[in-house]
Structure 1
Amino acid sequence: MLAMEVSMSHSVAGEPPSAGRRAAPLTTAVYSAAEWDLLTGLPGRVLVAAVAPGPGRTERGVLAGLAGLDAVAAGRASDSDLVRAVVAAIYARHDGAPQPVERLTDLVDLLAACRAASRVLGRRADPADSAAYRQWVQSVAARVCGAVPSPGERRAEHPISPADRRFLDRLGAALGLG
């Protein structure tokens, strides 16, 4: 079993936003504490679920986890104020100290959380921010699933296994992307 810890450094969290961008949009105030916790916690939950084994899926190694962390961090460069604010909150929450990630492998709960986040975004977010957030969250799982082919598998022939494709499809549907 892969025991994963997430460490977010001050150097990454403390980077200034890109020119002309706010570090956190003023619109985050429209979310309740529970809604904001849902939005900021979902990318990590998706990463953990994508790394974990499931029906027809094998547990992935450190490289896949790192690919997922890289996908989360890539949100810093998003055109979406919401995505950048969520990433900033994730990094600020971890304050540079390693934090254990709760192992949430129950796909039913994860998909319910994705649907709940989509409903929150539908009520409160700008449609472009909503779409960007949902696509970014799915990209975290896609990066993990495509990070490292199984032993003996050539990436060009089988970039994502059928089980991983089903996982990504179900995730996309729960996020309202498919």
Structure 2
Amino acid sequence: MSHSLAGEPPSAGRRAAPLTTAVYSAAEWDLLTTLPGRVLVAAASPTPGRPPRGVAAGLAGLDAVAAGRAFDSDLVRAVVAAIYARHDGAPAPADRLADLVDLLAACRAAVRVLRRRADPADSAAYRQWLESVAVRVCHADDLTGPADRRFLHRLGDALELR
């Protein structure tokens, strides 16, 4: 028997979306759930002055994203759950993922969304979690140099962590 998704209880074995996600529009939620992957890709991408990252860096970034499951933040846990629940397999275009200017603008947009809609503790946890993803990628292969420090500083600024 088929059920409408609007207003009907979830089917057996499926949980309703956490209350945390209900306060965000679809576009806002998409921004919050795609940003961790974008941060990981940007941190791992070679740029002038930054060497290419190895597999260990990518794995460190994935591990940092997954570590959000244990955060003491409903928002971070809900974002990680949404990332792992995605099954469309359609990645965002690579040029958008690695574009630093676009990434920093998206981080600033996420900060604005969080300021309007999130509990301050959840907002801080989410922003710190994003930064931790980038830090783990940049430090994974012991190649951290001045360009990496500039990248991390710019990311921290965009996330209003400094």
Query: C-alpha separation between the residues in 2 aligned to 1:44 and 1:83?
Result: 14
Alignment check: 8 A CA contact 1:23 1:85 kept = no
Query: C-alpha separation between the residues in 2 aligned to 1:32 and 1:163?
Result: 35
Aligned to 1:139: 132
Aligned to 1:92: 85
Percent of paired sites with the same residue:
80
Query: C-alpha separation between the residues in 1 aligned to 2:120 and 2:39?
Result: 22
Aligned to 1:122: 115
Question: Which has more helix, going by share of residues?
Answer: 2
Of 58, 68, 84, 2:61 maps to 68
Query: C-alpha separation between the residues in 2 aligned to 1:69 and 1:53?
Result: 18
Aligned to 1:167: 151
2:4 paired with 1:26: no
Deviation at 1:52, TM superposition (A): 0.2
Query: Secondary structure at the residue paired with 1:94?
Result: coil
Superposed, 1:104-115 pairs within 5 Å as: 104-115=97-108
Query: C-alpha separation between the residues in 1 aligned to 2:132 and 2:17?
Result: 21
Deviation at 1:27, TM superposition (A): 2.3
Query: Secondary structure at the residue paired with 2:86?
Result: helix
Deviation at 1:94, TM superposition (A): 3.4
TM-score normalised to the size of structure 1?
A: 0.77
Query: C-alpha separation between the residues in 1 aligned to 2:42 and 2:29?
Result: 20
User: What amino acid maps onto 2:161 in structure 1?
Assistant: L
Query: C-alpha separation between the residues in 2 aligned to 1:161 and 1:133?
Result: 26
User: What amino acid maps onto 1:85 in structure 2?
Assistant: A
- Structure 1 residues 140 and 23 mapped into 2: Cα distance closer, same or farther (>3 Å)? farther
Q: 1:16-67: per-residue Cα shift (whole Å, max 9, x none)? A: xxxxxx9963121000000000000000000000000123101101110000
TM-score normalised to the size of structure 2?
A: 0.85
Of 30, 37, 61, 1:37 maps to 30
For the pair shown, the structure with the greater C-alpha radius of gyration is: 2
Q: 1:145-172: per-residue Cα shift (whole Å, max 9, x none)? A: 000024xxxxxxxxx3111010000000
User: What amino acid maps onto 1:177 in structure 2?
Assistant: L
Alignment check: 8 A CA contact 1:45 1:110 kept = yes
Runs of 4+ in 1 over 2 A off after TM superposition: 22-25, 98-102
